[in-house]
Amino acid sequence: MAKEKQEKNIMGRTFDFILAGAAIIVGIMLLTGHGDIFMKGGNTQLRKAKYDEKKMTKGSGVALLLIGIATGIDSYTTGLAAKIGYIIVLILILAGLMLYLKYKCAKK
C-alpha cells in the first residue's frame, strides 16, 4: 500500500514539473518576443483592434512565469493548507492578468 502511494506521488510530482517547465518556457518565449504562436486563436482582428499586442504578450509571459514558479513550488508541498494557498495564488495571478489586460493593454 505504501509503495503504491509513493508511486502515485512521484507521478503527480513529475506531471507538476512538466507543467511548471512548460509554463516557464512559454513565459520566457512570450517575454522575449518569440512566443507569438501562443497568442493565436479566437477573434484575432477584434483583439488587435482592442488591445496592444506587445503589452498583452509581456503580461501573459509574466503571468505564465509566475504560474510556473508557483506550480514548481507546489510540487514539493503535501499539506491541505499549501494546496489551498496554491489555488489562491493561481486565482490572484489570473485576476492580476485580467486587470492588467483591462487597464494597461486596452487601446483607447
List Cβ neighbours of 28 (8 Å cut-off, separation of 6 or more).
61, 65
Task: Kindly state the average pLDDT of the residues 76-91.
Answer: 93
Q: Which residue has the cell 502511494?
A: 5
What are residue 51's phi and psi, to 5 degrees? -125, 155
Any idea which residue has 482592442 for its cell? 50
| pLDDT for residue 6 | 59
Q: How confident is the model at residue 3 (pLDDT cuts 50, 70, 90)?
A: low
Within 13 Å, how many C-alpha atoms sit on residue 93's CB side? 19
Whether 20 has a pLDDT exceeding 80, the answer reads yes
Cα 4 versus chain centre, distance:
30
pTM here is 0.83
Q: For a pLDDT cut of 90, what percent of the chain falls above it? A: 53
pLDDT at 46: 74
pLDDT of residue 102: 92
